[in-house]
């Protein structure tokens, strides 16, 4: 409980102190990079994810670019670790919302086109290492790779600062239906082929855990990567998170 009064802001715990399972995606994608959650800087975690990606993937290229904005901090970490320069190869239209949260595929397709544009003078003829935070359905990533190739990129090597999302989230994040998750049915090589990238690397789960060194790794939820749901409800219905929430409301 947070109380705001004339004396300032105070926070009081009021529930039982049971096992924590904070969403790791706050550090990967949701939170603002200038946030500090449970003592862990989101910026520092994302920067480390980029450094770990560079160590794990070892991709060589001419430039590192990000899918703005959520991939940018990790991309700067990749550049720092690898010594390959970070440049802006994609520009975001800041008036369009987040793509994977759009409710229908048609809306998601339209938003990608409206949302991003490749800078030809930056990427043409280059071997491009592109850093993004996640691949959910794969359609957005495929469009971005295609956009870069259309703008003349010689190669696109994609690095993802989350492990493959193979399981739905039952706790309110709209990656609800397992059959829509590309990593639920395809191997990394099949995903690479689907999105048209020249290579593809997802950060390892252990590598990801090492990036949030200020929090206890056991206090986090990683269920969409490893299906270790922190509460029993998450294990039951094979499908739609909305089902779970409807059941709870009843």
Q: Is 90 in the site for ligand SF4 (CB under 6 A)?
A: no
| Three-state DSSP class for residue 248 | helix
Biggest alpha carbon distance in the chain?
Answer: 60
For the record, the structure tokens of 142 come out as 């495929």
Q: Is 47 in the site for ligand SF4 (CB under 6 A)?
A: no
Between 141 and 176, CB nearer to ligand SF4: 176
What is the nearest approach in angstroms of ligand SF4 to the Cβ of residue 80? 26
Residues 91-150 interacting with ligand SF4 (rule: CB under 6 A):
none
Choice from 151, 183, 224, 244 touching ligand SF4 (CB under 6 A): 224
Q: Is 25 in the site for ligand SF4 (CB under 6 A)?
A: yes
Q: Is 221 in the site for ligand SF4 (CB under 6 A)?
A: yes
Q: Is 222 in the site for ligand SF4 (CB under 6 A)?
A: yes
Choice from 123, 169, 208, 244 touching ligand SF4 (CB under 6 A): 169
Q: Is 173 in the site for ligand SF4 (CB under 6 A)?
A: yes
Report which of 148, 174, 146 is spatially closest to residue 244, judged by C-alpha positions. Answer: 174
CA contacts within 13 A on the Cβ side of 165 = 26
Whether the CB-CB separation of 30 and 54 falls below 8 Å is answered with: no
Residues 183-212 interacting with ligand SF4 (rule: CB under 6 A):
none
Residues 6 or more apart whose CB falls under 8 angstroms from that of 178 comprise 166, 167, 168, 184, 238, 239
For the chain, how far is it from start to end, CA to CA, in angstroms?
Answer: 26
Residue nearest ligand SF4, Cβ-based = 169
Q: Is 223 in the site for ligand SF4 (CB under 6 A)?
A: yes
Choice from 27, 47, 59, 171 touching ligand SF4 (CB under 6 A): 171
What is the nearest approach in angstroms of ligand SF4 to the Cβ of residue 122? 32
Residues 6 or more apart whose CB falls under 8 angstroms from that of 83 comprise none
**What is the distance between the alpha carbons of residues 224 and 178, in angstroms, rounded to a whole number?**
10
| Three-state DSSP class for residue 98 | coil
Q: Which range binds ligand SF4 by CB under 6 A, 9-17, 20-28, 42-50, 123-131?
A: 20-28
Between 102 and 134, CB nearer to ligand SF4: 134
Report which of 16, 56, 22, 55 is spatially closest to residue 40, judged by C-alpha positions. Answer: 22
What is the nearest approach in angstroms of ligand SF4 to the Cβ of residue 26? 8
Q: Which range binds ligand SF4 by CB under 6 A, 17-25, 61-69, 85-93, 116-124?
A: 17-25
For the record, the structure tokens of 42 come out as 């989101």
**What is the distance between the alpha carbons of residues 189 and 241, in angstroms, rounded to a whole number?**
28
- Residues at the contact surface with ligand SF4, assessed by CB under 6 A: 23-25, 169, 171, 173, 221-224
């Amino acid at each position: 409980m947070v109380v705001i009064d004339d004396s300032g802001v105070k926070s009081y715990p009021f529930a039982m102190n049971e096992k924590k399972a904070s969403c790791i995606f706050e550090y990967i994608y949701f939170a603002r990079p200038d946030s500090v959650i449970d003592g862990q800087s989101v910026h520092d975690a994302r920067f480390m994810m980029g450094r770990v990606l560079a160590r794990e993937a070892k991709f060589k290229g001419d430039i590192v670019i990000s899918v703005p904005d959520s991939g940018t901090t990790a991309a700067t970490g990749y550049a720092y670790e690898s010594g390959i320069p970070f440049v802006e190869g994609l520009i975001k239209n800041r008036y369009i919302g987040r793509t994977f949260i759009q409710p229908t595929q048609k809306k998601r397709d339209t938003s990608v086109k409206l949302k991003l544009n490749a800078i030809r003078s930056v990427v043409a003829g280059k071997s491009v290492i592109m850093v993004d935070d996640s691949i959910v359905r794969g359609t957005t990533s495929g469009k971005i790779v295609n956009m870069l190739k259309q703008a003349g990129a010689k190669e696109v090597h994609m690095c993802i600062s989350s492990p493959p999302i193979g399981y739905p989230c039952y706790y309110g994040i709209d990656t609800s239906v397992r059959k829509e998750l590309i990593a639920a049915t395809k191997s990394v090589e099949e995903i690479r082929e689907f999105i048209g990238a020249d290579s593809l690397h997802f950060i390892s789960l252990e590598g990801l855990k090492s990036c949030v060194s200020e929090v206890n790794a056991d206090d986090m939820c990683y269920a969409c990567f490893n299906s270790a749901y922190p509460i029993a409800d998450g294990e039951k219905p094979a499908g739609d998170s909305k089902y779970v929430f409807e059941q709870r409301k009843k």
